[in-house]
Structure 1
Amino acid sequence: MSEPDDRPLLAKRLDDLFRTVRPKGKHWTNAEVAEELKRNNPDLKVGGVYLSQLRTGKRSNPSPDLLAALARFFGVSVAYFFDDEVAESVLGELAAVEALRQAGVRAVAMRAAGMKRENLQAITAIMDQYRQLQGLPPVTDTPEAESGEPAG
Structure 2
Amino acid sequence: MHEVEESKSFAERINELFDTVRDENGVPYTGKKIAQRANELGYTLSDAYISQLRTGKAKTPSFRTVEAIARAFGISVTYFLSDPDEDLKRVEQQREYVALAAETGAHLSAFRHESISPETIDVVIELLKVVKKQQSERESDAG
Higher Rg of the two aligned structures: 2
TM-score (norm: length of structure 2): 0.48
TM-score (norm: length of structure 1): 0.45
More helix by share: 2
User: Relative contact order (C-alpha < 8 Å, sep 6+): which is higher?
Assistant: 2
